[in-house]
């Protein structure tokens, strides 16, 4: 699976430089990986680095292959990526938007295989009825599901999703996590997902990576091992309790910020 070795990255502006990571080491596990951490920790930056959108120091490996050294077209075959920021308007239909997800493999003519893959993905996300609608007219949550479909319609080895549950209602959040599990099982791929909902991560993730507000590695492992009252306080600055549900998964109840006495 993916391994990040000694990742160092700073955003360089015209006047200033913002250090995000200094020698960050992270190892992901098989299946569904959740990346947790407070605002500004560097979660999106980590996904961008993995997908090759940033010039960083360090090395990222997929098994024994160096992702850092891969050419862009090789990288897009191995991975697909859903960024946090989506475009909001497009004249394309939902079907055409999702078809764009297969762009790296598309021939001059769209094949039945491409169309079937699009319709199967729309069906899996329960949005087949939107196929003919214009993307620009959809609600925020429906647009999000279309972008998720665009990411899933290809068949890469790794899928990177930055806050995919944002703007989805509760039922769709749960259905999406369930679907990700099904995809992992059916296609034998690995998924890395940035989440803010700790309970959702605890319920669905096979492996959790926690980054501090300073962009440092804090902990990783099973939900039961890493989601603790100590972690909530040290990483999120929150006083809360952690209990185990009937499936032995941690459930957090946040009580107050450490800043509020």
Ligand X SMILES: Nc1ncnc2c1ncn2[C@@H]1O[C@H](COP(=O)(O)OP(=O)(O)OP(=O)(O)O)[C@@H](O)[C@H]1O
Contact residues: ligand X, CB under 6 A: 11, 13, 18, 20, 37, 39-45
Q: How far is the CB of 144 from ligand X (least distance, A)?
A: 15
Q: Which is nearer to ligand X, 40 or 63 (CB)?
A: 40
Q: Which is nearer to ligand X, 163 or 190 (CB)?
A: 163
Q: Which is nearer to ligand X, 57 or 123 (CB)?
A: 57
Judging by beta carbons within 10 Å of its beta carbon (0-12, 13-18, 19+), is residue 184 exposed, middle or buried?
A: middle
Say which DSSP state 168 is in.
Answer: -
Q: What does the alpha-carbon distance between residue 176 and residue 173 come to, in Å, rounded to a whole number?
A: 5
Q: How far is the CB of 167 from ligand X (least distance, A)?
A: 14
Closest of 193, 218, 189, 217 to residue 207, by C-alpha:
193
Q: How far is the CB of 20 from ligand X (least distance, A)?
A: 5
Q: What does the alpha-carbon distance between residue 43 and residue 35 come to, in Å, rounded to a whole number?
A: 7
Q: Which is nearer to ligand X, 37 or 156 (CB)?
A: 37
Q: How far is the CB of 3 from ligand X (least distance, A)?
A: 19
- Contacts of 24 by beta carbon, 8 Å cutoff, 6+ apart: 4, 6, 7, 8, 42, 46, 58, 211, 215, 216, 217
Q: How far is the CB of 192 from ligand X (least distance, A)?
A: 13
> Would you say 127 and 146 are in contact if contact means Cβ atoms under 8 Å apart?
yes
Q: Which is nearer to ligand X, 85 or 170 (CB)?
A: 85
The helix/strand/coil state of 78 is helix
Largest Cα–Cα distance of the chain, in whole Å?
A: 64
Q: Which is nearer to ligand X, 46 or 138 (CB)?
A: 46
Q: How far is the CB of 118 from ligand X (least distance, A)?
A: 29
């Amino acid at each position: 699976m993916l391994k990040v070795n000694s990742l160092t990255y700073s955003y360089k502006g015209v006047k200033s430089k913002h250090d995000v990571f200094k020698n960050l080491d992270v190892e992901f596990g098989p299946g569904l990986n959740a990346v947790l951490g407070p605002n500004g920790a560097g979660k999106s930056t980590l996904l961008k680095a993995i997908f090759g959108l940033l010039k960083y120091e360090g090395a990222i490996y997929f098994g024994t292959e160096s992702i850092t050294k891969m050419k862009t077209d090789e990288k897009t075959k191995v991975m697909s990526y859903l960024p946090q920021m989506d475009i909001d308007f497009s004249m394309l239909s939902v079907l055409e938007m999702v078809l764009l997800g297969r762009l790296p493999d598309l021939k001059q003519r769209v094949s039945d295989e491409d169309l079937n893959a699009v319709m199967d993905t729309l069906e899996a996300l329960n949005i087949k009825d939107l196929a003919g609608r214009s993307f620009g007219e959809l609600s925020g949550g429906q647009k999000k599901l279309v972008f998720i479909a665009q990411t899933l319609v290809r068949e890469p080895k790794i899928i990177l999703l930055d806050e995919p549950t944002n703007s989805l209602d509760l039922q769709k959040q749960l259905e999406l996590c369930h679907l990700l599990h099904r995809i992992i099982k059916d296609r034998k791929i690995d998924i890395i997902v940035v989440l803010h909902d700790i309970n959702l991560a605890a319920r669905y993730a096979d492996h959790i990576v926690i980054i501090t507000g300073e962009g440092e590695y804090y902990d990783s492992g099973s939900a039961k091992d890493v989601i603790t009252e100590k972690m909530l306080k040290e990483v999120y600055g929150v006083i809360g309790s952690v209990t185990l549900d009937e499936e032995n998964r941690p459930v957090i109840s946040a009580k107050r910020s450490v800043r509020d006495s």
